[in-house]
Amino acid sequence: MMRFRFKLLTLCLLFSLIFVSTAEAEFKRNYTLAKKSFEDGNYSEAVGKFTDAISDNPDSAARVKLYGMRYDSYIPHYFLGEAYFKLNDCTSAMAAWDKALEAGVIQGQDEFSSMQTNMAGCKVEVIDVSSIAAEAKAEIDGLDGAVRNFASLEDENLLRSEWSSKWQPEMNQGNQLAQTLRQRLEIATAESDPDAINAISNEARQAVSALNGSEKLARAQIRVLQSQSEETTRLAREDARRGLQNNIRLANAAEHYEGGSSQMNTLMTDLQRQIGVGESLGETASATNIKEQSQIIGNVLRRYNLSVQNWQAQQQSIADRTPPPDLKRLAEAYFAGDYESVAQSANPDGFSKDRARIQALLFRAAANYKLYVRSGEKESTKLSEAESDIRAIKQMNRGFSPYIAAFSPRFLTLFRQTG
């Protein structure tokens, strides 16, 4: 009895494996034949084969073994939708593509982009856009009208000072937007895109509202400026005059320098002339004229002060290039051959600037070296003192080198070799 049951179980398992293997082979065969029919343009036949493959195995897969060593993606719902699409059956195609999306495999395949494009094509509804295009055109025409109304303010004298910086950019922006919207409307109408046309209408309406709001603000500002009293004008004039008087006071306090540069003298003459112009402005002078003259005086004064600074810097530079008297005496004694005097009297620490100290050390080192050579190179202390001074120089300025025309080649060699 047990042996009979074992044989029966074995037969059932074997039958099941044969059935599964047969079903798997069937869906692969149908899928392969369906793709062949689709590629050959037999879309009705392809629909039947893809439907059979899905009936045998509805589960999509990114990679399956079809036969032998050939592997391929298994996306039958996608191809079924494509076949329906070729047959102009968008309803069935969309249903199949929805199944492909639910499976989550097509998103990672190269065919996904083509499917998205065809799905978008199936969703397009043919709409008569002439009426909404006409409405959009009317909105753009309204924007053109708002721009013209705004442009009429350009000749208002009260807005002239701020027109180019504050108001004109808004008018230009509205005008440019109207041109852009007309171009976009032409394209959207040709493509029968109602959403794009409605968006254009909304943009035009919003631009009209914004431009009308700016126009109201500009006209309100004109009314405010027109209502300004004579008192406001007087206060503005007095404020400008205070600024002028302050600049005149500063100009009169500018220090005069005897023997200054020709530029300084020219600017001082101009400054005095501009002070005279400022003082001659009567009570009827406008605040604008007073401010302009105050600015002229301030500008000339700044140029004069700058020229004074440059002249003072030049004088200081000349003073810096003039050697101190003690250093000059050292140089004269050295080049006169009085090396003992230089070696004994040189005092580098007596100079306040490093450049002078270095020169004093240099003359003392050169003088001691001369004395060392005169002794027949016997007074080694003189050589040591020379080397010590050279090291002190290099410690202060590693890049310093003596003027080669002023010192002997042997001393220059010693200077280079001493570390």
User: How do residues 319-356 score in pLDDT, each as one tens digit?
Assistant: 666 788 888 898 998 889 899 998 899 899 988 888 88
User: How do residues 69-125 score in pLDDT, each as one tens digit?
Assistant: 778 888 899 999 999 999 988 889 999 999 999 989 888 898 899 899 999 877 654
Superfamily classification of domain 2-123: Tetratricopeptide repeat domain (1.25.40.10)
Which pLDDT score is estimated for 85? 92
pLDDT over 50 at 1, yes or no: no
Which pLDDT score is estimated for 362? 93
d(CA 262, CA 151): 53
Give me the percent of the chain exceeding a pLDDT of 90: 34
- Could you tell me if 181 and 204 are in contact, meaning their C-beta atoms sit under 8 angstroms apart? yes
User: How do residues 378-404 score in pLDDT, each as one tens digit?
Assistant: 999 999 998 999 999 989 998 888 988
Closest CA to 79 of 25, 117, 39, 107: 39
User: How do residues 179-223 score in pLDDT, each as one tens digit?
Assistant: 999 999 899 888 878 889 999 999 999 999 998 998 888 888 888
Give me the percent of the chain exceeding a pLDDT of 70: 90
d(CA 419, CA 411): 14
pLDDT over 90 at 142, yes or no: yes
Which pLDDT score is estimated for 313? 80
pLDDT over 80 at 18, yes or no: no
User: How do residues 242-269 score in pLDDT, each as one tens digit?
Assistant: 998 898 999 888 888 877 888 888 988 8
- Could you tell me if 120 and 188 are in contact, meaning their C-beta atoms sit under 8 angstroms apart? no
Q: Which residues pair with 72 in a beta bridge?
A: 64
Q: Which residues contact 69 (CB under 8 A, 6 or more apart)?
A: none
Query: Is pLDDT larger for residue 404 or for residue 12?
Result: 404
- Domain-wise residue ranges, the chain: 2-123, 130-226, 244-320, 325-417
Query: Is pLDDT larger for residue 16 or for residue 347?
Result: 347
User: How do residues 364-383 score in pLDDT, each as one tens digit?
Assistant: 999 999 999 999 989 999 99
d(CA 175, CA 153): 15
C-alpha torsion sign, points 199, 202, 203, 204: positive
